[in-house]
Homo-oligomer: A and B are copies of this chain.
Amino acid sequence: MKINGKAWRTIWLEQNGAYVGVIDQRKLPHKLAKHYIYNHHDAAEAIQKMIVRGAPLIGVTAAYGLMLALQKDPSDQSLESAFSELIATRPTAINLQWSLKRVSKLVKSLPLAKRAKAAQKEADAIAEEDVLMCEAIGDHGLEVLKKLSKDKPLEMRNKPLNILTHCNAGWLATVDWGTALAPIYKAHRAGLKIHVWVDETRPRNQGSSLTAYELGCEGVPYTVIVDNAGGHLMQKGLVDVIIVGSDRTTSRGDVCNKIGTYLKALAAKDNSVPFYVALPSSTIDWLIIDGLNEIPIENRSSSEVLRIEGKLDNGEVREIQLCPDSSNGFNPAFDVTPNRLISGLITEKGISPASKLGLSQLYKNE
Contact = CB atoms under 8 A, between A and B. Distances in A.
Interface of A: 29-30, 197, 200-203, 205, 208-209, 212-213, 216, 222-233, 235, 258-260, 262-264, 266-267, 270, 292, 297, 302, 305-313, 318-324, 326-332, 334-336
Contact of A312 (B233, B259, B318): B318
A70 B193 CA distance: 55
Number of copies: 2
Nearest to A341: B270
Given A267-B263, A267-B266, A308-B308, A225 B323 contact: no
Contact of A323 (B29, B266, B267): B29
Given A200-B305, A311-B321, 17 more contacts: A29-B324, A30-B321, A202-B202, A202-B226, A208-B306, A208-B322, A216-B326, A216-B327, A224-B329, A226-B331, A228-B258, A229-B330, A230-B263, A231-B260, A231-B335, A262-B267, A318-B318
B312 A320 contact: yes
Contacts of A335: 228-229, 231-232, 235
A226 B203 contact: yes
B231 A328 contact: no
Most buried by B among A319, A323, A331, A332: A323
B332 A321 contact: no
Contacts of A331: 225-226, 229
